[in-house]
Structure 1
Amino acid sequence: MKTSALLIPLFLLFASASLPVQAQFPIMGGSSQTKALPGTAGDQSPKGNAKITGIVLDSAQTKAVEFASIALYNQTTGNAVDGTVADEKGKFALTKLAAGQYRLLISFVGFRNKTIDNLTITNGQSLDLGVIKLSSSVKTLEEVTVVGQAALIEEKVDRLVYNADKDMTAKGGDATDVLRKVPLLTVDLDGNVSLRGSQNIRVLINNKPSTIVASSVADAMKQIPADQIKTVEVITSPSAKYDAEGSGGIINIITKKNSLQGLNLNVDSGVGNRGSSLSLNGNYRKGKAGFTLGGFGRANYNTITRTRLDQSSEVNGVSTLTRQTGDGTSSGLFGQYNLGFDYDLAKNQSLTAGVRYGVRNMLSQQDLITQLFTNGSAGAVSNRNVDVKNLSGTLDANVDYLHTFKPQQEWSISTLYSRNDLTNNFDADLLTNAGELTGRQRNLNKSLNQEFTLQTDYQTPIRKNQLIEFGGKAIFREVTSNYRYLVAGPTGGFTTENNNTLGELLYHQNIAAAYTSYTYTTKKRYTLKGGLRYEHTFLDASTRESGTLGVGDYGVLVPSINASKTIKGTTIKLAYNRRIQRPGLQQLNPNYNAANPQNITIGNPTLRPELTNNFELGLSKTIQKTFVNATFFGRVTNNAITQVRQPSDTLAGAIITSFENVGRQHAYGTNVFANVAVTSKINIGLFLNAFYTSLTGQAMDLEGLSATVTNAGFNVSGGTFASAQFKNGWGAQAFGFLQGSQVQLQGRQGGFGFFTLGVKKDFKNKKGSVGIAAENFLTKRFTIHTVLNSAQFNQVNDIYLYNRGVRLTFTYKIGKMTMDAPKKRARSVNNDDVKSESSGQTPTGGAQPRQ
């Protein structure tokens, strides 16, 4: 990419052979020349008035190699003397050189290094080297991509990067399989994602939002093929440049992109006892234009769930005990199709456009057997057969423009239109213990979430070590939900029970935002990045039942600060930021979801956003072959959107779950990660997440009055992974993870475990591979044991998941590509600011069909 952020690591890579780390000073723009710091070997060389100039060209295409790295060494001592980078036309100049004999090294990613020895210059001389041609290095590219063991985990100033393309066990899987292995993240068996124990996260795909994520993170991850994920970025302390949403932080999933010339087609497939997949992705690039076309399909089947529920409650002096068991199955079809286009309008201008369509069809069936005991007397046994349909279609379309003036000085305009049609219906047959049909129920709930975003950003360097960024953004969002709750006898048509079972939600949310951010780096390797963002939200909400809800507009000021310092190889980072989390459709939707009438869920359209203050201290160090990172964090959330459960006063034995802004959440803990490069081809990693959390909210007491409820405790999870590359293209990888029970406002959610093992064999020409991966093959099932309670009820819920699986994978590449210098593409819109369907959710028990 045309950015000095890429140039610095390249230059340091070659200069560090003889230049101490402490002597390397990253340039942030302004000048293209890199100087040695005072006190270093380079600085000890006498200065003069000589000069070396030249032009770097691509030998194959006879065009400039923009921003190639130039390093100058003393021919006798081998010490680094000076360095610079070429400009957009490939030109470079090294000035103020003393007379002497030198060696020049020219390098750039995708090209073979070029060395010019025995350069002799005298005082006052201007030595013009003319045209220097670099040849393409296709062989090097293959070695780095296929053979080399790049770091599995990388730490950057404001994020942790997991290189997912090294994960062979995820072949044939989806994004959920990848996220389970990312440090700091926790993914439960339903695919709900947490960051440091918080599900209030913001998920981006290639720096872009999508309404598919706004409806459900868990479902969205099932639509992204694991084979196409390059990296996963975990941003725990976002700067002001990022939207203020996501109190837990940001997860950015980067898919594989192609900056090569030519045509290629990748085929990825997998087949197993619980799921199969097929992915086709093509890329074509010629000159200034590039096209991508891809499709992915995945089918899940043979998914068995079994549940058991014991639930007791007391309302108006009447005690009720519910005992319920359930057996069910689920299946799903997921697809994602995309078309992309990019064009270089000029050397410093680019246009990017894309369309993506995602589809999700999830079907589940469950047979529930329920018996109620009233004041100790057993009632009749009832049977209930439930079929649930969870369907959606998502369209994302974007057009982005980028103008690069010089390294790190750029201006961009980004647009995005996103639309998600969501259907979540259920049909239930009510049966006697003898199997006789006594009645039917139906819930129809169709929702539409659409939004348009316009964003502009500008950044420019100030001198050599400062960068300023500012921009603005507008989001226009409309959410509608139509819901009907219908009943019928054994025969005949469906009718509404009462006026409360027929409704509509209309929710308009418009957001205006502006930000500024400033970065400063000192010569002693201190880095300080601070920023301020303001967001104002305009709301207009109404329901058919209640009319206008009167949810007022609000504004929020979001500061952020990040500081880092490297001391004797140890990097220390301090961070603070404030985040906002707006309610999502599942929390807002007042639809009466009674697929399991003993566990009913209803949303609250009057919810306000929650605000979180985050504090973080991070330490990282490489000790020989081991990289260690330890982070200590604190998180304080006010006005938290919290699940509140209470017994129904109209339906005996039922528990109703709703959402209220009544909570305060405090969390304090640590994340520890270690990666050991045993050899250049064997890696072993360990990670541990542990934090103490305290939750405070409101719930009903025995008299039916609102009372303060507090719950606290430790949450612990951890795991290990190992990967190895062997001769003749063989490789293996293993992963294991354990999640302890999690503290909830009214009890604790049960923990679980997960493990995988995979083996892969690359073909000799490295154009394809075959493999086998197995998950949870040592256990028949997992049990999630959840205990929830309050003054009015007690609930014990066991969910048994049968997910032992094995799958065969196959990949093949067709086509021939040639290396082209990577171009910087237009920046895309970043926004996904609402709580997902899974955010803040825990199993509410009671043999509820998986949705």
Structure 2
Amino acid sequence: MKYQLLILTFLLFAASFINVMAQTGSGQKVVYRISGKILDADTDEPIPYAAASLLDAESMQSVAGAVADLDGEFFITGFKDGSYILQLSFIGFESLNSQPIEVAPGNTDIKLGNLKMSQEALGLEEVTVQGQRSLIEEKVDRTIYNAENDKTTIGGDASDVLRRVPMLSVDLDGNVSMRGSTNILVLIDGKQSAIVANNIADALKQIPAEEIKSVEVITSPSAKYDAEGTGGVLNIITKKNNLQGASLNINSSAGLRGSNLGLNASLKRGKMGWTLGGFGRSGYNILGSFDNTQTLMNPEGENTVINQTADTRNNMLFGRYNLGWDYELNKYNFLTASVSVGVRNMRNRQDGLLTETFVEDMLESALLRDVNVDNLSNNVDVNFNYTKTFETPQKEFSISGLYSRSNNNNDFVNSLYNGTFTDIASRIKNENLGINEEFTIQLDYVTPVGNSGNQILEYGAKNILRKAISEFAFFTADGSDGEFQQVDDVVLSNEFNYDQNVTAGYASYTLGFLENYTVKAGLRYEYTNINADFKNSELPADIPSYGTFVPSVNIGRKLANGNMIKAAYNRRIQRPSLQFLNPNIDQSNQQQQSQGNPLLDPELTDNYELAYSTFVGGSSLNFTSYFRNTTGSIQPVRTVSDNDVIFTTFENIGNERAVGLSVFSNINISGKFSLNGSIDSYYAMLTNGLENPMFAASNEGFVVSGRLFGNYTLPKNWQIQAFTFARGRAVQLQGSAGGFMMYGLNLNKQFNEKRGSIGFGMENFFTREFQIRNELITPTIMQESIIGMRNMNFKINFSYRIGKLSVEGSRRKKRGVTNDDMKEGGDSGAGAVMNSN
């Protein structure tokens, strides 16, 4: 009962707070607003990211400005009454000036409607775009982080980018969570990939930061999206090039902990375009340590304390290479295809792993080991898309196909020394080859309903064939040169095959009504068929098939001055990944062994959300409250064997509830200085629902995280950017994960008409080693561990563009399958007369 009371109290508080903010946003102070939509005069397509500047009509000095979103829409606030001229500019288009616009107290909300710009054939080096694009954009159903404007991530990977994104948290191992939930669906350019399905943290390390255009955080996905991911959908958009000509981009970074080199080439001639790219990154001098203390409590006997300490070394090598092709058959038909190949080699060493066992403060044994873990993987993705558009705006049909395969070798050798590091007594080895393979076909159709332009119908179907294989074998050997002998035990050496077929259909309907209201409702049905077996035994793996209905509702209302309030409900499903299903026993640490459970069921989550966004001057604010309830949550079950080994497996025994509030803001202090930051907090309530006191567990508490990013433009093309992120203690079912923080500073200069840039970066430069303190508490186990990571880094960054591109003859048409929901708006309000310069 106390949980329901807490949730009700929190939601009432959030609703009251949002209502107060809504009233405050439309208070007595007069707020002026100018809005419009920027289109290509030749194609009537939106011009994303065009710059809109408001100039004083007399002095022609810039007073305020904005950047158009993906739909070409913009609005400008933060100015007083007076006479102004609106100036539009974008690469490859003639700049456009309006007739004088009179702003007075009786004319506060000026809607200019569609504003059309004409193309001009100019090289990129001949055009200078004034103004800065916002790092964070807020849309009806998602938050967009424009990563290409963040110079602090140069030389990093996708995990470095995601640490800067509101509502996301990325720990030092690269594990991603959205508002406290790690069960999220990660897409790359709107598509799933076996790379991500196998291990999100590993996949992110393969994507260079320089190749990421933006990141979309979708907390309330529509029915068009797969039901996978109880926490929401994360869509990583990579950079694409639709311009004419040829170019070669070179970027590199060399640092204390790692270096990278990337080459990306593009060629566009007429209707056909090619892209070819490669990126390699090495990591070295990644040192750390861990200190682990386990207390095993025996109600009938003496307590046992086990201490483990070791130094760690990590070396890694990543590579990602891609080839892309697109072809415009005619005005309404488009083809795209791509092949992407990635490799990831990570080698982890635990040197001098000392295990001391005490019984009632008396030392019983001391064992000395070295542990070598090799995680070697490669992957390939092959995409093909056909898109047909029509004369009717927003009408589109698309077919998308994807083949994806990921191979992962996760092997270890554990050497036990006989007292000193010169005499190896015995060795054990585990070899585990994991294969993830997927084939996907998807059909989508979008069409407007009626002639009003405020109704959109979307429907489609999708089929995913997944195959996961785990081949594992266990070996033992005597001494340092004894031959490894495979253990003849089907539990330790076997092959597990897991086939999954997901067939889905969906329908979604969007309606704009009462001028300022929009509702988007949809229903998705997914049927999952599973076959699983062990090759060398009759071990049970009978997993029933199941069907799931996934409803979603999003309602939004536009308020005065560009403010918005929205509410949403959706249901999500989280199927267990191979890391939870894998029956291979991980014995790399002899005192803490783990094994997956092939009989796991999926998790189901209901999400409720209430959000309000507003603008104060030239700054934006967003407040989001939410409640999340997960049933059948996959949770670890830990037991202690007779030889004091902690053994971990997984069961669908958990219930997770979380009620939270997220606040983030983008503040434009001036045309040269901007700040954005966020605070995410939630109260977590977890229980496993077991009655046996030896296994029953529950926990609750607050989890808080925050980030701050600053950008300042200096004279002569210099720029300085700073970033920091911190997360407090995270509540877990049996204990907690320690908090951590990180920070960085980057100084960058552009040269040769902004073709090249060179910069210097520092990361965690005041902290020699971060320490994370984790805690595990059960009726029989108490464990405290300290993990040390030395992430201090200094680096030099360099990039240069060779070649010349122009927009002559190019068309801004959508390619392939897109996942953007309709953005309402149109030719409302008075239009201003625009002139080309």
TM-score in same-fold range (> 0.5): yes
Q: Deviations over 1:39-92 (max 9, x none)?
A: xxxxxxxxxxxxxxxx965xxxxxx676799xxxxxxx9xxxxxxxxxxxxxxx
Matched-pair contact (CA < 8 Å) for 1:700–1:791 = no
Asked whether 1:200 is paired with 2:191, we answer no
Q: Which residue of the other structure, out of 647, 653, 661, is the alignment partner of 2:644?
A: 653
Shift of 1:362: 0.3
Asked whether 1:579 is paired with 2:572, we answer yes
Asked whether 1:417 is paired with 2:403, we answer yes
SS state at 1:214 partner: helix
Residue 482 of structure 2 aligns with which residue?
Answer: 492
Identity among equivalent pairs (%): 43
Residue 377 of structure 1 aligns with which residue?
Answer: 362
Asked whether 1:556 is paired with 2:543, we answer no
Q: 1:829 to 1:591 in 2, by over 3 A?
A: farther
Q: 1:531 to 1:678 in 2, by over 3 A?
A: same
Shift of 1:230: 1.0
Write the mapping of 1:541-690 to structure 2, written as runs, cut at 5 A. 541-543=532-534, 544-569=536-561, 570-647=563-640, 649-650=641-642, 652-690=643-681
Matched-pair contact (CA < 8 Å) for 1:245–1:581 = yes
Q: Deviations over 1:721-778 (max 9, x none)?
A: 1101111110000111111010011001101110000100100411000001101001
Residue 526 of structure 1 aligns with which residue?
Answer: 517
Matched-pair contact (CA < 8 Å) for 1:288–1:344 = yes
Hey, what's the Cα distance between the residues in 2 that align with 1:434 and 1:588? Answer: 38
Residue 513 of structure 1 aligns with which residue?
Answer: 504
SS state at 1:755 partner: strand
SS state at 2:588 partner: strand
Matched-pair contact (CA < 8 Å) for 1:264–1:815 = yes
Q: 1:829 to 1:318 in 2, by over 3 A?
A: farther
Q: Which amino acid aligns with 2:667?
A: V
Asked whether 1:248 is paired with 2:231, we answer yes
Asked whether 1:162 is paired with 2:139, we answer no
Hey, what's the Cα distance between the residues in 1 that align with 2:86 and 2:702? Answer: 58
SS state at 2:688 partner: strand
Q: Which amino acid aligns with 1:639?
A: G
Residue 342 of structure 1 aligns with which residue?
Answer: 326
Shift of 1:663: 0.2
Hey, what's the Cα distance between the residues in 1 that align with 2:191 and 2:156? Answer: 22
Matched-pair contact (CA < 8 Å) for 1:700–1:792 = no
Hey, what's the Cα distance between the residues in 2 that align with 1:150 and 1:165? Answer: 10
Q: Deviations over 1:318-346 (max 9, x none)?
A: 53210110111010000000000000011
Q: Deviations over 1:511-554 (max 9, x none)?
A: 00000000111252211111000000000011244445111000
Hey, what's the Cα distance between the residues in 2 that align with 1:404 and 1:20? Answer: 38
Matched-pair contact (CA < 8 Å) for 2:418–2:424 = yes
Q: Deviations over 1:694-727 (max 9, x none)?
A: 111157967xx5x431110110111211101111
Shift of 1:486: 1.3
SS state at 1:728 partner: coil
Shift of 1:433: 2.6
Write the mapping of 1:421-500 to structure 2, written as runs, cut at 5 A. 421-435=407-421, 436-462=423-449, 463=451, 464-490=453-479, 491-499=481-489, 500=491
Hey, what's the Cα distance between the residues in 2 that align with 1:780 and 1:56? Answer: 56
Q: Deviations over 1:419-451 (max 9, x none)?
A: 001100001110123232110000000011101
Residue 738 of structure 2 aligns with which residue?
Answer: 750
Shift of 1:259: 1.2
Q: 1:152 to 1:657 in 2, by over 3 A?
A: same
Shift of 1:394: 0.4
SS state at 1:143 partner: coil
Shift of 1:828: 4.0
Q: Which amino acid aligns with 2:513?
A: T
Q: Which residue of the other structure, out of 132, 135, 140, is the alignment partner of 1:152?
A: 135
Q: Which amino acid aligns with 1:112?
A: E
Residue 842 of structure 1 aligns with which residue?
Answer: none
TM-score by length of 2: 0.83
Matched-pair contact (CA < 8 Å) for 1:542–1:549 = yes
Structure 2: stretches of 5+ with no match in the other structure:
1-30, 49-56, 58-84, 101-115, 820-837
Hey, what's the Cα distance between the residues in 1 that align with 2:707 and 2:582? Answer: 37
TM-score by length of 1: 0.82
Residue 537 of structure 1 aligns with which residue?
Answer: 528
Write the mapping of 1:70-469 to structure 2, written as runs, cut at 5 A. 110-113=92-95, 134-136=119-121, 142-144=127-129, 148-314=131-297, 317=301, 319-367=303-351, 368-406=353-391, 407-435=393-421, 436-462=423-449, 463=451, 464-469=453-458
Matched-pair contact (CA < 8 Å) for 1:615–1:634 = yes
SS state at 1:470 partner: strand
Q: 1:347 to 1:356 in 2, by over 3 A?
A: same
Q: Which amino acid aligns with 1:377?
A: M
Q: 1:180 to 1:550 in 2, by over 3 A?
A: same
Q: Which amino acid aligns with 2:467?
A: E
Hey, what's the Cα distance between the residues in 2 that align with 1:105 and 1:727? Answer: 23
Hey, what's the Cα distance between the residues in 1 that align with 2:586 and 2:119? Answer: 65
Hey, what's the Cα distance between the residues in 2 that align with 1:23 and 1:160? Answer: 20
SS state at 2:579 partner: helix
Hey, what's the Cα distance between the residues in 2 that align with 1:626 and 1:743? Answer: 33
Residue 721 of structure 2 aligns with which residue?
Answer: 733
Q: 1:358 to 1:504 in 2, by over 3 A?
A: same
Q: Deviations over 1:798-821 (max 9, x none)?
A: 001111001100000000011144
Q: 1:389 to 1:700 in 2, by over 3 A?
A: farther
SS state at 2:596 partner: coil
Shift of 1:22: 10
Matched-pair contact (CA < 8 Å) for 2:92–2:124 = no
Matched-pair contact (CA < 8 Å) for 1:736–1:754 = yes
Hey, what's the Cα distance between the residues in 2 that align with 1:152 and 1:393? Answer: 33
Hey, what's the Cα distance between the residues in 1 that align with 2:648 and 2:717? Answer: 53
Q: 1:116 to 1:375 in 2, by over 3 A?
A: closer
Q: Deviations over 1:570-620 (max 9, x none)?
A: 210101100000000000001100101111111000000000000111111
Structure 1: stretches of 5+ with no match in the other structure:
1-18, 33-54, 58-63, 70-76, 78-102, 119-130, 831-851
Write the mapping of 1:747-786 to structure 2, written as runs, cut at 5 A. 747-786=735-774
Matched-pair contact (CA < 8 Å) for 2:91–2:127 = no
Matched-pair contact (CA < 8 Å) for 1:231–1:254 = yes
Hey, what's the Cα distance between the residues in 2 that align with 1:437 and 1:244? Answer: 51
Matched-pair contact (CA < 8 Å) for 2:93–2:117 = no
Q: 1:21 to 1:546 in 2, by over 3 A?
A: farther
Matched-pair contact (CA < 8 Å) for 2:92–2:127 = no
Residue 123 of structure 1 aligns with which residue?
Answer: none
Q: 1:506 to 1:523 in 2, by over 3 A?
A: same
Matched-pair contact (CA < 8 Å) for 1:348–1:403 = yes
Matched-pair contact (CA < 8 Å) for 1:295–1:338 = yes
SS state at 1:227 partner: helix
SS state at 1:535 partner: strand
Matched-pair contact (CA < 8 Å) for 1:415–1:829 = no
Q: 1:548 to 1:790 in 2, by over 3 A?
A: closer
Matched-pair contact (CA < 8 Å) for 1:204–1:251 = yes
SS state at 2:151 partner: coil
Q: 1:699 to 1:773 in 2, by over 3 A?
A: farther
